[in-house]
Chains A and B, each alone.
Chain A
Amino acid sequence: MNDASSLTVDWPDALFGLLKAHDVTHVAYVPDAGHARLISLCEADPALHAVLLTTEEEGIGLMLGGWLGGARGVLLMQSSGVGNCINMVSLGITHRTPMPMIVTMRGDFAEFNPAQVPMGSATQAVLEAMGVAVRRADAAADVAPVVDAMLRLAFNTYRPTAALIGQRVIGAKTFGME
Chain B
Amino acid sequence: MEASHMLRRREVVRALLEDRRDLLVIAGLGAPAWDVTAAGDHPRNLPLWGGRGSAAMIGLGLALAQPNTPVLVVTGDGEMLMGLGALATIAVKRPLNLSVVVLDNEHYGETGMQRTHTAYAVDLAAIARAAGFPRASVVRSEDDLAVVRASVHEFAGPLFAQVKVVAEALPLVLPPREGALLQARMRESVLGPEAHLA
- A residues contacting B by CB (< 8 A) are 25-26, 49, 51-55, 57-71, 73, 87-88, 90-91, 94-97, 155
Contacts and interface: CB of A to CB of B under 8 A. Distances in A.
Interface in B83-99: 83, 85-86, 88-89, 92-93
B26 A65 contact: yes
A61 B50 contact: no
16 contacts: A26-B65, A51-B64, A53-B85, A58-B54, A58-B89, A60-B51, A62-B57, A65-B62, A65-B65, A69-B65, A88-B53, A94-B49, A94-B50, A95-B180, A96-B179, A96-B183
Contacts of A26: 61, 64-65
- SS class, residues of chain B in contact with chain A: helix
B114 to A, nearest CB: 20
Nearest to B56: A61
A70 B51 contact: no
Contacts of A52: 89, 92
B17 interface: no
Nearest to A55: B85
Contact of A62 (B49, B61, B69): B61
B26 to A, nearest CB: 7
Given A61-B51, A62-B60, A70-B195, A53 B89 contact: yes
B172 interface: no
Contacts of A60: 51, 54, 57
Contacts of B61: 26, 61-69, 71, 73
Contacts of B55: 61
B187 interface: yes
Given A66-B65, A71-B65, A87-B52, 9 more contacts: A52-B92, A60-B54, A62-B60, A63-B61, A65-B58, A68-B187, A70-B187, A71-B64, A95-B179
A95 B187 CA distance: 12
